[in-house]
Structure 1
Amino acid sequence: MTFRSSTTTARTSSEVRAVARTQTLLEGQNGIGTVRRTILPGGLRVVTETLPSVRSATFGIWVQVGSRDETPTLNGATHYLEHLLFKGTQKRSALDISSAIDAVGGEMNAFTAKEYTCYYARVLDTDLPLAIDVVCDMLTGSLIEAEDVDAERGVILEEIAMTEDDPGDCVHDLFSHTMLGDTPLGRPVLGTVDTVDALDRDRIARFYKKHYDPTHLIVAAAGNVDHATVVRQVRRAFEKAGALSRTDAAPVTPREGHRDLRTAGRVGLLNRKTEQAHIVLGMPGLSRTDERRWALGVLSTALGGGMSSRLFQEVREKRGLAYSVYSYTSGFADCGLFGVYAGCRPSQIHDVLKICRDGLDQVAAEGLSDEEIGRAVGQLSGSTVLGLEDTGALMNRIGKSELCWGTQMSVDDMLARIAAVTPDDVRAVARDVLGQRPSLSVIGPLKDKQADRLDEAVA
Structure 2
Amino acid sequence: MNEAVEFPLDLAELSFRAAGDARVRRTVLPSGVRILSEQVPGSRSLTIGYWVAVGSRDERPGHYGSTHFLEHLLFKGTPSRSALDIAIAFDAVGGEHNAMTGKEYTCYYAKVQDRDLPMAVDVLTDMLTSSLLDASEFETERGVILEELAMADDDPADVANERFFEAVLGEHPLGRPIGGSPAMIAAASRDAVLEHYRDNYRPQDLVVTVAGAVDQDTLVADVTRALERAGWDLSVSATPVGRRLDHPALITQGEALTIVRRPLEQANLLIGVPGIVASDDRRVTMSVLNSIFGGGMSSRLFQEVREKRGLAYSVYSFAPGYSDAGLFGMYAGCTPAKAGQVAELMLSELHRLAEHGVTADEMTRAAGQLSGASALALEDSDTRMSRLGRSEITLGEFSDLDEALRRLALVTADDVRQLAADMASGPISVVAVGAVDEDAFENVLSRSIRP
TM-score (ref. length: structure 2): 0.94
Q: How does 1:96-107 map to 2 (within 5 A)?
A: 96-107=85-96
- CA change 1:244–1:2 in 2 (3 A) is farther
Tell me which residue corresponds to 1:310: 300
Q: How does 1:46-445 map to 2 (within 5 A)?
A: 46-245=35-234, 247-256=236-245, 258=247, 259-261=249-251, 263=253, 266-445=256-435
Deviation, 1:418, is 1.2
Deviation, 1:291, is 0.2
Deviation, 1:432, is 1.4
SS in 1 for 2:443: helix
Deviation, 1:411, is 1.2
Alpha carbons 1:222, 1:395 under 8 Å: kept = yes
Alpha carbons 1:84, 1:152 under 8 Å: kept = yes
Deviation, 1:216, is 1.4
Q: Could you report, residue by residue, the CA deviation over 1:285-322 in whole angstroms, capped at 9, with x for unpaired residues?
A: 10001101111110011000000000100000000000
Taking only aligned residues, the RMSD between alpha carbons, in angstroms, comes to 1.8
Alpha carbons 1:303, 1:309 under 8 Å: kept = yes
Judge which range, 58-67 or 374-383, deviates more: 374-383
Tell me which residue corresponds to 1:21: 12
Deviation, 1:405, is 1.3
- CA change 1:228–1:310 in 2 (3 A) is same
Measure, in 1, the Cα distance between the counterparts of 2:157 and 2:253: 23
Measure, in 1, the Cα distance between the counterparts of 2:263 and 2:171: 25
Deviation, 1:240, is 1.6
Deviation, 1:264, is 8.8
Supply the AA of the counterpart residue of 2:204.
Answer: T
Deviation, 1:262, is 5.0
Alpha carbons 1:160, 1:192 under 8 Å: kept = yes
Measure, in 2, the Cα distance between the counterparts of 1:358 and 1:20: 49
Measure, in 2, the Cα distance between the counterparts of 1:267 and 1:20: 48
Measure, in 2, the Cα distance between the counterparts of 1:116 and 1:246: 26
- CA change 1:284–1:20 in 2 (3 A) is closer
Measure, in 1, the Cα distance between the counterparts of 2:265 and 2:402: 45
Q: Could you report, residue by residue, the CA deviation over 1:249-274 in whole angstroms, capped at 9, with x for unpaired residues?
A: 01112211541225497111111122
Measure, in 1, the Cα distance between the counterparts of 2:41 and 2:308: 48
Deviation, 1:390, is 1.2
1:456 aligns with 2:443: yes
- CA change 1:33–1:21 in 2 (3 A) is same
Supply the AA of the counterpart residue of 2:47.
Answer: T
**Alignment: residue pair count:** 440
Structure 2: gaps of 5 or more residues: 447-451
Deviation, 1:144, is 0.6
Supply the AA of the counterpart residue of 1:236.
Answer: R
Deviation, 1:435, is 2.7
Deviation, 1:185, is 1.0
Supply the AA of the counterpart residue of 1:63.
Answer: V
Measure, in 2, the Cα distance between the counterparts of 1:265 and 1:128: 48
Tell me which residue corresponds to 1:34: 23
| Segments of 4+ moved more than 6 angstroms | none
Identity of aligned residues (%): 47
Measure, in 2, the Cα distance between the counterparts of 1:293 and 1:265: 26
Supply the AA of the counterpart residue of 1:21.
Answer: A
Supply the AA of the counterpart residue of 1:434.
Answer: A
Judge which range, 256-265 or 191-200, deviates more: 256-265
Measure, in 1, the Cα distance between the counterparts of 2:411 and 2:360: 11
Supply the AA of the counterpart residue of 1:211.
Answer: N
Measure, in 1, the Cα distance between the counterparts of 2:400 and 2:76: 37
- CA change 1:418–1:219 in 2 (3 A) is same
Measure, in 1, the Cα distance between the counterparts of 2:2 and 2:25: 11
Alpha carbons 2:318, 2:329 under 8 Å: kept = yes
Judge which range, 168-177 or 299-308, deviates more: 168-177
Alpha carbons 2:166, 2:254 under 8 Å: kept = no
Judge which range, 381-390 or 285-294, deviates more: 381-390
- CA change 1:20–1:368 in 2 (3 A) is closer
SS in 2 for 1:381: helix
Measure, in 1, the Cα distance between the counterparts of 2:202 and 2:96: 25
Measure, in 1, the Cα distance between the counterparts of 2:102 and 2:325: 15
Judge which range, 126-135 or 162-171, deviates more: 162-171
Deviation, 1:40, is 0.8
Deviation, 1:22, is 2.1
Q: Could you report, residue by residue, the CA deviation over 1:362-385 in whole angstroms, capped at 9, with x for unpaired residues?
A: 111111122112211211111111
Deviation, 1:238, is 0.8
Measure, in 2, the Cα distance between the counterparts of 1:287 and 1:455: 30
Deviation, 1:246, is 5.6
Q: Could you report, residue by residue, the CA deviation over 1:84-112 in whole angstroms, capped at 9, with x for unpaired residues?
A: 00000111000000100100000000000
Supply the AA of the counterpart residue of 2:126.
Answer: D
Higher relative contact order, chain-length normalized (CA < 8 Å, sep 6+): 2
Measure, in 2, the Cα distance between the counterparts of 1:136 and 1:85: 10
Alpha carbons 2:170, 2:255 under 8 Å: kept = no
Alpha carbons 1:363, 1:434 under 8 Å: kept = no
Q: Could you report, residue by residue, the CA deviation over 1:378-415 in whole angstroms, capped at 9, with x for unpaired residues?
A: 11111111111111111111111111112211111011
Judge which range, 247-256 or 90-99, deviates more: 247-256
